[in-house]
Amino acid sequence: MSDDEVAPLETAFGVDHHVTHAELPDRPAHEGGPDMVQLLTPEGERVAHPELDPLVEALSREELQGLYRDLVLIRRFDAEATALQRQGELGLWASLLGQEAAQVGSGRALRPQDHAFPTYREHGVAWCRGVDPVNLLGMFRGVNHGGWDPDEKNFHLYTIIIGAQTLHATGYAMGVQRDGDVGTGDPQRDTAVIAYFGDGASSQGDVSEALVFAGVNNSPVVFFCQNNQWAISEPNEKQTRAPLWHRARGFGFPGIRVDGNDVLAVYAVTAQALENARCGQGPTFVEAYTYRMGAHTTSDDPTKYRVSAEVEVWKHRDPIERYKRWLTTSGTADAAFFEAVEAEADELGRSVRERCLAMPDPDGTAMFDHVYAEAHPVTARERAWFTEYQASFEQEVAR
């Protein structure tokens, strides 16, 4: 997929739609193309960006260190979850390996009053929002379909139906508008919504409809697409002929591609997009160009469809390594800090494992709970029947 195809028909018509680009470090298409915003090279060198630099410079040393801590801790959590799955403690796990910067960068750009609508892979965003990561394991362990109250940390439930959450996010943002929580100038009040989705999801009609509704209503929502290059076994070319960030324009709002493995760039781009949303400037489409380093889920076998050389290339773009280098060379953090984070990660891993194993299986009657908010005769009757039926076994066992 090339970013710079020329439009034969439009040219034939004397209409030149070729997009003109401002100066950004040149980069071949397979590395995200010349339009990709990058603040850190894979080698950890800082690239200047006049518009975005102030956003990064506003971050304190603690905040900058915090981003690193987030990256490392969530990667550790993820590794632990993968291990738990291998040991049969989880039925499935969807690893975020490689996408930490995209998630932490965007997650940390959110304000407390903002709302995030995730797919099933946004463990890093959940972490930034303050959701206890153990709660993320419930659905993968099979003890529930969603183990947290979405309104507690403004982090909504994981959505498995691809793309659906983009409409929920847009509707939520329409609610924010009706509440008058946009453009008041009060930084504690003005609210943005962020919708996460993948490159594969971009094909779903739901996602395009979300762009339509958000555009028409000028709603405060950021569409955050993690382009991790793969939708299970299907590469980008099976989903789109144009770079995904181009999608937004035709729906009436801006799109931007950011290096998804560059936590600073993701932070800055998302912060700007969210701020525009809060101010009443409407939606933005952010494509975070990243890579799924692992399998789609623990059920998947990527050797069937992709070559290891590709994975090798992306290893050199690792989001944590690059940020660590910059923290070091810029003197923002030292070895002691890195060690402390390592220790904290070990502790997190241990605690997560322990608490996962301690998660109780729900009682069978739980399946009748919350099907309806108000009394329902069929549920009530079936629940009663089930309870009695279960009891009859226990009696038998007792006898």
Partner 1 sequence: MSTTTLAKGITTGLRAAMEKDSRVVLMGEDIGKLGGVFRVTEGLQKDFGEDRVVDTPLAEAGIVGTAIGLALRGYRPVVEIQFDGFVYPAFDHIVSQVAKLHARSLGSVRVPMVIRIPVGGGIGAVEHHSESNEAYFAHTAGLRVLACSTPHDAHWMIQQAIETDDPVIFYEPKRRYWDKGEVGEEPAGALGSARVVREGTDVTLLAYGPMVKTCLQAAQAAQEDGHSLEVVDLRSLSPLDEETVLASARRTGRVVVVHEAPTFLGLGAELSAMLSERAFYELEAPVLRVGGYNVPYPPSRLEDDFLPDLDRVLDAVDRSLAY
Ligand X SMILES: Cc1ncc(C[n+]2csc(CCOP(=O)(O)OP(=O)(O)O)c2C)c(N)n1
162 scored as a contact of partner 1 (CB under 8 A): yes
Catalytic residue among 30, 61, 305, 316: 305
Q: Is 69 a catalytic residue?
A: no
Asked if 22 is part of the footprint of its own copies (rule: CB under 8 A), the reply reads yes
Q: Between residues 243 and 294, which has the closer beta carbon with respect to its own copies? A: 243
Binding pattern for the stretch 278-317 against partner 1, x by CB under 8 A and - elsewhere: ---------------------x-x--xx------------
Site for ligand X in 315-334 (CB under 6 A): none
Q: Is residue 276 at the binding interface for its own copies, with CB under 8 A as the rule? A: yes
Per rule CB under 6 A, is residue 292 in the interface with ligand X?
A: yes
Binding segment for Mg ion among 156-164, 193-201, 264-272, 300-308 (CB under 5 A)? 193-201
Residue 181 lies near Mg ion (rule: CB under 5 A): no
Total residues interacting with ligand X, rule: CB under 6 A: 14
Q: What is the DSSP string of 357-379?
A: HTPPPPPGGGGGTTSSSS--HHH
- Stretch binding Mg ion (CB under 5 A), from 61-69, 195-203, 269-277, 344-352: 195-203
Interacting partner of 92 out of its own copies, Mg ion, partner 1, none (Cβ under 5 to 8 A depending on kind): partner 1
Ordered alpha helix ranges (H), the chain: 8-12, 53-57, 61-86, 100-107, 123-129, 133-141, 164-178, 205-217, 263-278, 308-315, 319-329, 335-357, 377-398
Residue type at 335 in one-letter notation: A
Smallest CA-to-CA distance from 210 within 200, 224, 190 is with: 224
> How would you classify the pairing of strands 255-259 and 230-231?
unpaired
Give yes or no: 292 in active site. yes
Is 216 a binder of ligand X (CB under 6 A)? no
Tokens matching residue 82: 């993968």
Q: Cα–Cα distance between 219 and 208 in angstroms, integer?
A: 15
Contact indicator for 207, 201 with CB cutoff of 8 Å: yes
> Rounded to whole angstroms, how far apart are CA atoms 32 and 37?
9
Q: Is 232 in the site for ligand X (CB under 6 A)?
A: yes
CA–CA separation, 257 vs 273, rounded Å?
12
User: Does 371 interact with its own copies (rule: CB under 8 A)?
Assistant: no
Residue 305 bears catalytic tag: yes
Instruction: Please state, in angstroms and rounded to a whole number, the distance separating the CA atoms of residues 182 and 369.
Output: 37
- Which residue of the set 156, 292, 317, 322 is catalytic? 292
Task: Kindly identify the residues of this chain, within the stretch 205-234, that bind partner 1 according to CB under 8 A.
Answer: 205-206, 209-210, 212-213, 216, 231-234
Q: Kindly list the catalytic residues.
A: 292, 296, 305
